[in-house]
């Protein structure tokens, strides 16, 4: 009797994965901040404007909504290990579900099993640093991406109530996916938009049922004061941790004091001028979304690969234009990396290639350079000191900007031309 070993490989893989999750759950990641904030809210106190202890010499602020703290109050009474493990197990499922949702945008029947395997391998490889960092920090980004993509799927299949509810929830917890609301309007998903706006308003005041009206209003006011983009700490982010245009552009345009003593500025502008340029770049990148959408407003996307192309840029835009973004936020580049990997694989053979050999080579080269800047700059590969230097010079942000160039080169128009031949 031949034992079908391949059939049981997924079950064997569960053992090291579970061991990894247990090991991470024993640590103190950012989820401890959420749990401590929930304890404060449950005790009638505000979690905002105060340092929350994570581990020895490690403190953090709570930047999330009052509703998220209220949701976590029951979990805050459990030992941290069980709450951490529960969230990590949920993130494992979210990660699997993100893969399923991404593959729904393309026709897998046109790919061989080998091509699908390569697609999965490339997606894991290109996202490895940010996946591991999200698990290591017990963070929210995997949940946010899953919630945003799942809500778009629900809206697409006319389940506007549940789709709007889920999108409103992820926007309430962390404001970043709010960029999807203008996208829904542009793509004529008016019922989905109205559902999202309704539940967004509802979720702001839902904690009143637990906390009371005045306490919730006080927490909402405190929450706005810590996330207000005009706050001084959101205009300059010279430290090692943040990675976004807010961390990159001011360091180039004016003299800033970072964690390391190396100079980064090319110019010596004042804060007001620097802030104006920063906001102009943000607005410019936001308006550049129209390049990816093309001029077809109030219509649905032409096809699945057109839609994932559009969403790839929007999700990639989020960690770039919002302040206070850490490494884990760049997991939002996953749709872009998925789309680019699919484009590379489907255009690998010269006989079916939808673009020129030179363009294809440039795509591979720029993607590899982005991979070097974003992933191979990890301390586990180049060491702690060199990693600090790459973070000081914000190489992750440069790598994300390079991905925009790669996306431009991987336009769906090339695929359409191949189909017309």
Measuring CA to CA, how many Å separate 391 from each of 87, 388, 411? Answer: 28, 5, 31
What pLDDT digit, counting tens, does each position of 119-147 carry?
999 999 999 999 999 999 999 999 999 99
* pLDDT score, position 25: 95
Kindly provide the b/e burial profile for residues 194-214, where b requires at least 16 CB atoms within 10 angstroms of the residue's own CB: ebbbebbeebbebbeeebeee
CA angle 297–302–305, rounded 5-degree value = 120
Q: Is 346 helix (H, G, I), strand (E, B) or coil?
A: helix
Give domain status of residue 208, yes or no.
no
Q: What is the mean pLDDT of the chain?
A: 93
Give domain status of residue 92, yes or no.
no
CB atoms within 10 A of CB 404: 19
Give domain status of residue 198, yes or no.
no
* pLDDT score, position 256: 92
The answer on pLDDT for 85 being more than 90 is yes
Percent of the chain scoring above 90 in pLDDT: 81
**CA dist., res. 66 & res. 218, Å (int):** 10
Q: What is the average per-residue pLDDT within 88-92?
A: 97
User: Alpha helix locations (H) across 174-205?
Assistant: 180-186, 190-205
Give domain status of residue 211, yes or no.
no
Structurally, the chain folds into a number of domains equal to 1
Which of the four pLDDT bands, split at 50, 70 and 90, describes residue 292? very high
* pLDDT score, position 234: 84
Give domain status of residue 406, yes or no.
yes
Give domain status of residue 395, yes or no.
yes
* pLDDT score, position 138: 95
The answer on pLDDT for 419 being more than 60 is no
Q: What is the average per-residue pLDDT within 71-84?
A: 95
Phi, psi of 29 (to 5 degrees): -95, -165
Q: What is the average per-residue pLDDT within 276-305?
A: 93
The answer on pLDDT for 15 being more than 90 is no
With the CA atoms of 146, 184, 408 and 313 taken in that order, what torsion angle do they form, in degrees rounded to the nearest 10? -30
* pLDDT score, position 418: 57
* pLDDT score, position 79: 94
What pLDDT digit, counting tens, does each position of 370-392 carry?
999 999 999 999 999 999 999 99
* pLDDT score, position 93: 97
Which of the four pLDDT bands, split at 50, 70 and 90, describes residue 54? confident
* pLDDT score, position 415: 66
**Bigger pLDDT: 33 vs 295:** 33
* pLDDT score, position 98: 98
Please answer whether residues 337 and 127 qualify as being in contact, where contact means their C-beta atoms are separated by less than 8 angstroms.
yes
Q: How, if at all, do strands 58-60 and 52-55 pair? A: antiparallel
* pLDDT score, position 3: 53
The answer on pLDDT for 58 being more than 90 is no
**Bigger pLDDT: 71 vs 230:** 71
Which of the four pLDDT bands, split at 50, 70 and 90, describes residue 155? very high
Give domain status of residue 377, yes or no.
yes
Structural domain of residue 236, as residue ranges? 104-138+229-421
Mind giving me the DSSP string for 229-290?
Answer: TTSGGGT---SSS--SHHHHHHHHHS----SSS----S----HHHHHHHHHHHHHHHHHTHH
The answer on pLDDT for 299 being more than 80 is yes
Which of the four pLDDT bands, split at 50, 70 and 90, describes residue 4? low
Q: What is the average per-residue pLDDT within 209-215?
A: 96
Q: What is the average per-residue pLDDT within 217-237?
A: 92
Which of the four pLDDT bands, split at 50, 70 and 90, describes residue 5? low
Q: Which of the residue ranges 65-79, 104-118, 142-156, 196-210 would you say has the lowest mean pLDDT?
A: 104-118
**Bigger pLDDT: 68 vs 233:** 68
Give domain status of residue 404, yes or no.
yes
* pLDDT score, position 420: 44
Residues 6+ apart with CB under 8 A from 90: 143
């Amino acid at each position: 009797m031949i034992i079908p070993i391949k059939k049981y490989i997924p079950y064997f893989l569960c053992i090291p994965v579970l061991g990894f999750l247990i090991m991470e759950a024993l640590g103190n990641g950012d989820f401890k901040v959420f749990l401590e904030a929930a304890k404060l809210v449950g005790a009638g106190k505000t979690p905002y404007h105060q340092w929350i202890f994570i581990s020895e010499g490690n403190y953090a602020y709570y930047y999330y909504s009052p509703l998220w703290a209220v949701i976590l109050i029951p979990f805050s009474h459990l030992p941290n290990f069980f709450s951490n493990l529960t969230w990590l197990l949920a993130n494992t499922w979210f990660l699997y579900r993100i893969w399923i949702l991404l593959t729904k945008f393309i026709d897998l029947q046109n790919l061989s099993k080998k091509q699908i395997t390569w697609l999965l391998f490339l997606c894991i490889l290109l996202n490895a640093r940010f996946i591991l960092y999200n698990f290591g920090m017990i963070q929210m980004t995997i949940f946010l991406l899953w919630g945003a993509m799942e809500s778009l799927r629900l809206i697409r299949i006319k389940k506007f109530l549940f789709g709007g509810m889920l999108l409103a929830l992820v926007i309430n917890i962390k404001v970043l996916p709010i960029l999807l609301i203008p996208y829904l309007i542009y793509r004529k998903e008016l019922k989905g938009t109205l559902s999202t706006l309704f539940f967004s308003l509802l979720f702001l005041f839902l904690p009143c049922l637990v906390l009371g009206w005045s306490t919730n209003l006080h927490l909402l006011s405190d929450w706005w004061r810590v996330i207000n983009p005009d706050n001084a700490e959101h205009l300059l982010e010279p430290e090692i941790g943040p990675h976004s245009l807010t961390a990159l552009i001011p360091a180039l345009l004016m003299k800033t004091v970072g964690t390391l003593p190396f100079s980064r500025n090319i110019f010596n502008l004042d804060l007001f001028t620097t802030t104006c340029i920063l906001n102009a770049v943000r607005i410019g990148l936001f308006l550049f979304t129209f390049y990816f959408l093309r001029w077809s407003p109030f219509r649905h996307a032409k096809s699945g690969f057109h839609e994932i192309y559009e969403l790839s840029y929007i999700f990639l835009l989020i960690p770039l234009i919002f302040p206070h973004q850490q490494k884990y936020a760049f997991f939002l580049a996953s749709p872009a990396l998925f789309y680019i990997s699919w484009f590379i694989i489907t255009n690998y053979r010269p006989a079916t290639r939808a673009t020129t050999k030179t363009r294809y080579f440039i795509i591979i080269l720029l993607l590899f350079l982005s991979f070097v800047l974003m992933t191979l700059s990890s301390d586990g590969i180049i060491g702690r000191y060199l990693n600090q230097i790459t973070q000081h010079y914000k190489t992750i942000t440069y790598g994300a900007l390079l991905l925009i160039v790669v996306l431009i080169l991987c336009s769906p128009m090339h695929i359409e031309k191949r189909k017309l031949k």
